[in-house]
A and B are shown apart, each in its own frame.
Chain A
């Protein structure tokens, strides 16, 4: 039955059916296969239950805070800050792209939002500095992967809700891998800028210029402190810290940057509810499939096949990474996370892999799928905002995929890097 459901699901996806509907049709086919009509009510029960979780409520607030920041002119201030920090180096705009992604990651936690916000400004700027347009779009898409790794992160909230792991611990666990990913992309850019003879376009570095930029960007930098600080120090739950951060951005947008208008505010609200709806419908539908998988004992069957390898943590993590990566290539990220986590968790537990390590490795793999064909949303966005043909984008993206995969391997071999900060904070 499971194989039949997988085939049906992919057929429905290829037919262009919205993901939530494809999952529900697949689930209905699964229930029809079981043949017990009394179980049909479970579809609605699980669909509702998949959305009705307090811990998931942080998601709309993170989306709202990020969207509101753009409307409040804080995005432009952050970009200016990144430019003041690294714009003076050879190939400086390339570094600005990566550093901008790191700073943005601390605010909205969405790779797609980073790609569109940074790509619009930086792809043309990189081209002016002598970069090839498709490389610029590739770097924008690649560096946006840092978004869901450095806290706050929508994927981390989801993983925490599914596995009852501490959100604060996960947020802290993402810091080092996110920074290493950023450094890896900067190293790639360094060699690319050297080999292509990219000039130094910005002026000399100035402390006063940096101080001014940081001062202007301070309005935006407070938000991640509210979110991360509130959670890590136990002052607020993730949902509460998201709501407080969103309220802060709204007030700061009116009183501090003075760029947030009523129309901009409502635009952010509408964008948030539409995006939240599309994410939560998938989570509800995936919960129905999750119930069916549990009924069919898929996690136990999968675990039985992998159990012979559980003695070797690295092998288990590498195997689970590989499966996640391939599934992520063909499936939407939220659905991949919601469907695979319950299947893989018993194996990770049996292999005594720390849930924080397992979570970060899963999220890294799912995030990388954002830039792989055929479902790499960030590649599509970068191609659209950079006006680059998709074929050129998919040719250019593989070095960035390889670089990110290298970081995943590093995390698998040295899990201590993930646990460094969480352990320091007692998680």
Chain B
């Protein structure tokens, strides 16, 4: 039930040789970064619990830090999830050759379109929120909001790299 979007081969030869390791490198690098963010979030929550029972008080910023770290982790891990075919999708595989290729093309265009749109809108929104501060951490609201354009932008890059690498279906 997991979907693979990298099923349209556009390029060949040297370009493919560049794109394949780049896609893998981006996925692995992002996965490590998301993993570290997850551990930071875990540490933050545990510190909050410990602080509540030891010092009878929880710093106000712990919840906010955990929430924003989670959003950044989710968005950073979105491109490895695409690379490893973790995103939920239906893989019916019932259409004949030419129809299937047509559907793959439409799907690819829509996927690139929506990722591009969300990246653009996300950047605009984050930029607009630069002057505003968060309640707990006191940082600019643009910092957590930037996770959306950054993460979806990386998904877009990952998808294009996968297309360039001509990666076939993975189950």
Is A14 a contact of B77 with CB atoms below 8 Å? Answer: no
Q: Is the CB of A239 within 8 A of B45?
A: yes
CA of A172 to CA of B31, assembled, Å: 36
CA of A24 to CA of B111 in the docked complex: distance in angstroms?
10
Number of interface residues of B (CB under 8 A): 58
**A362 beta carbon closer than 8 Å to chain B:** no
The chain B residue sitting closest to A241, CB to CB, is B49
Q: Tell me, yes or no, whether B84 is within 8 Å of chain A by CB.
A: yes
Which residues from B are CB-within-8-Å of A393? none
Given A60-B70, A246-B42, the answer on whether A19 and B110 have CB atoms closer than 8 Å is: no
Residues of chain B lying within 8 A (CB to CB) of residue A13: 89-90
Q: Known contacts A16-B92, A332-B88; is A273 also within 8 Å of B42 by CB?
A: no
A375 adjacent to B90 (CB under 8 Å): yes
- The answer to whether the Cβ of A184 comes within 8 Å of any Cβ in the partner chain is no
From B34, B71, B87, give the contact of A48 (CB < 8 A): B71
Contact: B111 with A274, CB < 8 Å? no
| B30-50 with Cβ < 8 A to chain A | 31, 34-35, 37-39, 41-42, 45-46, 48-49
In the complex, the answer to whether A28 meets B106 with C-beta atoms within 8 Å is no
Q: Name A21's contact: one of B1, B38, B74, B115 (CB within 8 Å).
A: B115
* In the complex, residue of chain A having the shortest beta-carbon distance to the beta carbon of B80: A274
B90 touches A374 (CB 8 A): yes
| A281 lies within 8 A of B78 (CB) | yes
Q: Which residue of B lies closest to A23 (CB)?
A: B114
Q: Do the beta carbons of B86 and A275 come within 8 Å of each other? A: yes
> Are A269 and B39 in contact, with the CB atoms below 8 A?
yes
Q: Complex Cα distance A61/B45, Å?
A: 11
Question: In the complex, are the beta carbons of B125 and A45 less than 8 A apart?
Answer: yes
CA distance A332 to B2 in the complex (A): 11
User: Known contacts being A16-B103, A28-B114, A44-B122, is A51 close to B74, with CB within 8 Å?
Assistant: yes
Closest residue to B115 on the A side, CB-wise? A21
Q: Which residue of B lies closest to A330 (CB)?
A: B90
Q: Is the CB of A270 within 8 A of B35?
A: yes
| Majority secondary structure, B binding face | helix
CB pair A51 B70 closer than 8 Å: yes
> When the two chains form the complex, which single residue of B67, B78, B107, B121 contacts A41, counting CB atoms closer than 8 Å?
B121
Chain B hits for A57, CB < 8 A: 41, 45, 66-67, 70
Please indicate the chain B residues that have their CB under 8 angstroms from the CB of A18 in the complex.
3, 5, 82, 87-89, 111
Q: Is B73 an interface residue (CB 8 A)?
A: yes
Q: Is the CB of B63 within 8 A of A54?
A: yes
Instruction: Pick the residue among A17, A41, A60, A243 that contacts B89 (CB under 8 A).
Output: A17
Contact partners of B91 in chain A: CB under 8 A: 16
Residue numbers in A under 8 Å from B66 (CB-CB): 54, 57, 239
Given contacts A44-B122, A57-B70, is CB(A274)–CB(B86) below 8 Å?
yes
**Across the interface, do B125 and A16 meet the contact criterion of CB distance under 8 Å?**
no
Q: Is the pair B86, A14 in contact by a Cβ cutoff of 8 Å?
A: no
Residues in A2-33 with C-beta less than 8 Å from chain B: 12-22, 24-25, 28
B86 CB, nearest partner CB in chain A, Å: 5
Q: A280 contacts B49, CB within 8 Å?
A: no
Q: How many A residues touch the partner, as a band?
A: 35 or more
Check B145 for interface membership: any CB of A closer than 8 A.
yes
Interface centre among A246, A273, A275 (most CB of B within 10 A): A273
**Separation in Å of the A373 CB from the closest CB of chain B?**
11
- Assess whether A240 is interfacial by the CB under 8 Å rule: yes
Q: How far is the CB of B103 from chain A (nearest CB, A)?
A: 5
B117 CB contact (under 8 Å) in A28, A244, A273: A28
Report whether A25 and B110 are in contact in the complex, using a CB–CB cutoff of 8 Å: yes
Question: How far is A266 from B73 in the complex, measured between Cα atoms in Å?
Answer: 15
B81 interface residue, CB < 8 Å from A?
yes
Q: Inside 8 A of B48's CB, which chain A residues have their CB?
A: 240
Closest beta carbon of chain B to A388's beta carbon, Å: 16
A52 at the interface (CB under 8 A from B): yes
CB neighbours of A269 from chain B (8 A) = 35, 38-39
The smallest beta-carbon distance between B51 and chain A, in angstroms, is: 11
Contacting residue for A274 out of B3, B84, B128, CB 8 A: B84
Q: Would A40 and B121 count as touching, CB distance under 8 A? A: yes
B77 and A243 contacting across the interface, CB-CB below 8 Å: no
CB of B110 to closest CB in A, whole Å: 6
What is the bound-complex CA distance between A22 and B90, given in angstroms? 11
Given A273-B73, A277-B73, 9 new contacts (CB under 8 A): A16-B104, A18-B3, A18-B89, A43-B121, A44-B121, A57-B66, A60-B41, A269-B38, A273-B31
Binding site for B on A (CB under 8 A): 12-22, 24-25, 28, 40-41, 43-45, 47-48, 51-54, 57, 60-61, 64, 236, 239-240, 243-244, 246-247, 266, 269-270, 272-278, 280-282, 332, 374-375, 377, 380
Please list the residues of chain B having a beta carbon within 8 angstroms of any beta carbon in chain A. 1-3, 5, 31, 34-35, 37-39, 41-42, 45-46, 48-49, 63, 66-68, 70-71, 73-75, 77-78, 80-82, 84, 86-92, 103-104, 106-107, 110-111, 113-115, 117-118, 121-122, 124-125, 128, 144-145, 147-148
In the assembled complex, 15 residue pairs joining A and B whose CB atoms fall closer than 8 Å, in A order, are A14-B92, A16-B103, A17-B89, A21-B87, A41-B121, A44-B118, A48-B71, A54-B66, A57-B70, A64-B42, A240-B45, A247-B46, A274-B31, A277-B86, A374-B92
8 tightest A-B CB contacts, nearest first? A277-B77, A18-B87, A243-B45, A273-B34, A273-B77, A280-B74, A269-B35, A19-B88
